[in-house]
């Protein structure tokens, strides 16, 4: 089924407000009467001051109203607010027709606390229809008073980001079919879901008017907490936004390949990976996630985008392409590797079987291939290794993400020096060698986390 047309979304936007509290910013929409706004309970829970802002198409606040809690439906993470000074805006209608798998919908709201409203396409995903069936067990254990883990939900395929919670999910008629509830984003990969619009009737009938004042769960409701959102920067024609900063442990909870990650963490155990921290960048159009050691600078250089750390030996590179199919993704994957490795008549590459997938892994609409590569050069007498790469190639069918960690000096002499220093030997370069090796561990683990949002992580 078709997405809502522009004119439909423009009409819906007139009924959307920006909800602000002392510590968060999210979305709400007008329902039943001009004085009532629906949003997610976790947005306002524990907050003393709630404000609803009416925003125009240019992102300007045209009016504001204080709001108070009118009704609470705790199990569904919903709240109805009463506005003190409502404007005469349209009331959104509810659509209760059954949704079809892969049906295109739009979430309307204020992603990343942007000034103006925008829409985000989502699709209904086949799979679990309760939180307990789509969230990792470690996260389920953290859920306190709400929402109910047995509540029927909308399992969504799409890229929901901070600020959209409480926003309406509408069909091509502009009818509300769901409410954005949250996205698991403790790691790089998001899991998104909504509350079915049928729960609105239960909200209207609720006699509960007290918020539970429950502590928020960062992993569940980070769409409304301080997500360390940075400025969006243009890299080529790709819009990259620093979405948040997270620890290795947080990232590990939603890794798409926990076995491979554990093997790498064991390899780098001497550097204590659990002390590593990372910045997460996202291509806002595709949802592609790039994970880099905290504080790294991103810059463009020739055909690739470079992430530098002030170490001549070590750097990360990445590129993103819009593709039509898997064959085109494969073509650009090869192009990326050829550019990355700078092959000529005097160089050749070989995979490192210890750290390479035998074949790409496909799950939940995302295909990922991770591999390590040696580059050998001919020195006039023999072939010897000079560089080493670890890369992730991932595609969701419409976008290819290619990320690599590069060790520019993996020569036999350097490898021997690293071994000497690691065994307690003395050399005036041992301190720098150890720092470079630790950086390599951070980069490789960051590359391992790179992927796309997937919506049923086990």
Which tens digits make up the pLDDT trace of 348-406? 999 999 999 999 998 877 899 999 999 999 888 888 999 999 999 999 888 999 999 99
Distance CA 299, CA 297 (A): 7
Residue at 87 is within a domain: yes
pLDDT of the residue at 216: 54
Structural domain of 138:
6-221
Residue at 192 is within a domain: yes
Q: Are residues 328 and 372 in the same domain?
A: yes
Among candidate residues 330, 312, 311, the one with its CA nearest the CA of residue 321: 330
Calculate mean pLDDT across residues 78-94.
Answer: 94
Distance, CA of 281 to chain centre: 8
pLDDT of the residue at 313: 92
Q: Are residues 315 and 374 in the same domain?
A: yes
What's the half-sphere exposure (Cβ side, CA atoms, 13 Å) at 107? 35
Q: Checking DSSP bridges between strand 314-322 and strand 399-407, what pairing results, if any?
A: antiparallel
pLDDT at residue 308 above 50? yes
Higher pLDDT, 454 or 163: 163
| Mean of all residue pLDDT scores within the chain | 86
Calculate mean pLDDT across residues 316-345.
Answer: 91
Q: Are residues 212 and 236 in the same domain?
A: no
CB 159 within 8 A of CB 177: no
pLDDT of the residue at 74: 92
Q: How many domains does the chain have?
A: 2
Domain boundary among 221, 243, 275: 221
CB 120 within 8 A of CB 47: no
Domain boundary among 202, 221, 240: 221
CATH of the domain at 410: 3.40.1000.10
Distance, CA of 15 to chain centre: 27
CB 17 within 8 A of CB 87: no
Instruction: Respond yes or no on whether the N-terminal peptide bond of residue 209 is cis (omega within 30° of 0).
Output: no
Q: What is the DSSP string of 287-351?
A: --EEEEETT-EEEEETTEEEEE-S-TTEEEEEEEEE-SSHHHHHHHHHHHHHHHHT--TTEEEEE
The backbone region for 124, taken as left when phi is positive above 0, alpha when psi lies in -120 to 50, beta otherwise, is: beta
Q: Which residues contact 433 (CB under 8 A, 6 or more apart)?
A: 414, 417, 418, 421, 427
Domain boundary among 221, 256, 283: 221
Confidence of residue 189 (pLDDT cuts 50, 70, 90): low
User: Which uninterrupted H or E stretch holds 442?
Assistant: helix 430-449
Higher pLDDT, 215 or 94: 94
Among candidate residues 254, 248, 307, the one with its CA nearest the CA of residue 441: 248
Residue at 80 is within a domain: yes
Q: Are residues 156 and 37 in the same domain?
A: yes
CB 189 within 8 A of CB 452: yes
pLDDT at residue 458 above 50? no
Distance CA 8, CA 171 (A): 9
Q: Quick one: 157 exposed, middle or buried, by C-beta within 10 A (0-12, 13-18, 19+)?
A: buried
- pLDDT tens profile 19-77: 988 777 889 999 999 999 999 998 888 888 899 999 988 888 899 999 999 999 999 99
Residue at 458 is within a domain: no
Residue at 1 is within a domain: no
pLDDT of the residue at 215: 60
Among candidate residues 150, 148, 167, the one with its CA nearest the CA of residue 30: 167
pLDDT of the residue at 51: 93
Calculate mean pLDDT across residues 92-116.
Answer: 86
CATH of the domain at 21: 2.40.10.120
Token couple for 156: 């969504």
Q: Quick one: 210 exposed, middle or buried, by C-beta within 10 A (0-12, 13-18, 19+)?
A: exposed
Q: Are residues 133 and 236 in the same domain?
A: no
Q: Checking DSSP bridges between strand 232-235 and strand 366-378, what pairing results, if any?
A: unpaired
- pLDDT tens profile 204-262: 999 999 888 876 555 555 344 444 455 667 666 777 888 778 899 888 877 888 899 99
Q: Are residues 371 and 445 in the same domain?
A: yes
Q: Are residues 255 and 108 in the same domain?
A: no
Residue at 203 is within a domain: yes
pLDDT of the residue at 407: 94
pLDDT at residue 447 above 90? yes
Q: Are residues 324 and 207 in the same domain?
A: no
| pTM of the predicted model as reported, rounded to 2 decimal places | 0.72
Burial pattern 58-73, b for ≥16 Cβ within 10 A else e, equals eeeeeebbebebbbbb
Q: Are residues 79 and 42 in the same domain?
A: yes
Residue at 455 is within a domain: no
pLDDT at residue 173 above 50? yes
Polymer length of the chain: 458
CA angle, 44 then 251 then 441, to 5°: 150
- pLDDT tens profile 397-415: 889 999 999 999 998 999 9
- pLDDT tens profile 117-168: 888 888 888 878 888 887 777 677 777 778 888 989 998 887 777 788 899 9
Q: Are residues 120 and 267 in the same domain?
A: no
Q: Are residues 114 and 175 in the same domain?
A: yes
Q: Are residues 297 and 162 in the same domain?
A: no
């Amino acid at each position: 089924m078709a997405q809502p047309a522009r004119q439909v979304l423009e009409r819906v936007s007139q009924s959307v407000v920006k909800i602000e509290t002392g510590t968060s910013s999210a979305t709400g929409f007008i329902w039943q009467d001009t004085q009532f706004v629906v949003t997610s309970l976790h947005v306002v829970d524990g907050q003393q001051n709630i404000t609803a802002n009416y925003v125009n198409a240019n992102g300007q606040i045209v009016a504001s109203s204080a709001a108070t809690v009118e009704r609470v439906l705790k199990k569904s993470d919903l709240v109805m607010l009463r506005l003190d000074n409502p404007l005469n805006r349209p009331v959104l209608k509810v659509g209760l027709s059954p949704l079809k798998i892969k049906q295109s919908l739009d979430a309307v709201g204020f992603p990343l606390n942007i000034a103006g409203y925008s829409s985000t396409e989502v699709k209904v995903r086949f799979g679990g229809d309760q939180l307990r069936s789509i969230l990792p067990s470690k996260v389920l254990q953290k859920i306190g008073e709400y929402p109910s883990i047995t509540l029927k939900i909308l399992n969504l395929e799409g890229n929901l980001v901070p600020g959209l919670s409480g926003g309406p999910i509408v069909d091509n008629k502009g009818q509300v079919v769901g409410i954005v509830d949250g996205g698991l984003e403790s790691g790089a990969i998001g899991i998104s879901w909504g509350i079915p619009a049928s729960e609105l009737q239960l909200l209207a009938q609720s006699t509960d008017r007290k918020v539970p004042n429950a502590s928020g769960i960062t992993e569940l409701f980070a769409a409304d907490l301080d997500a360390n959102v940075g400025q969006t920067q243009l890299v080529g024609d790709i819009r990259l936004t620093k979405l948040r900063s997270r620890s290795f442990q947080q990232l590990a909870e939603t890794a798409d390949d926990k076995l491979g990650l554990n093997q790498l963490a064991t390899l780098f155990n001497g550097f204590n990976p659990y002390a590593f921290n990372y910045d997460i960048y996202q291509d806002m159009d595709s949802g592609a996630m790039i994970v880099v050691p905290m504080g790294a600078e991103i810059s463009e250089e020739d055909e690739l985008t470079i992430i530098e750390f002030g170490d001549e030996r070590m750097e990360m590179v990445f590129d993103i392409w819009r593709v039509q199919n898997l064959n085109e993704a494969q073509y650009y994957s090869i192009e990326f590797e050829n550019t990355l490795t700078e092959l000529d008549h005097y160089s050749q590459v070989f995979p490192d079987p210890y750290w390479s997938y035998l074949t790409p892994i496909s799950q939940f609409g995302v295909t990922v291939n991770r591999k390590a590569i040696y580059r050998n050069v001919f020195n006039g007498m023999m072939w010897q290794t000079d560089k080493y790469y670890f890369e992730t190639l991932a595609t969701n069918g419409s976008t290819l993400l290619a990320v690599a960690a590069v060790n520019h000096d993996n020569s036999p002499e350097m490898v021997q020096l690293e071994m000497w220093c690691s065994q307690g030997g003395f050399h005036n370069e041992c301190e720098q060698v150890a720092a470079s090796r630790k950086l390599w561990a951070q980069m490789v683990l960051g590359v391992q986390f790179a992927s796309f949002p997937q919506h049923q992580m086990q």
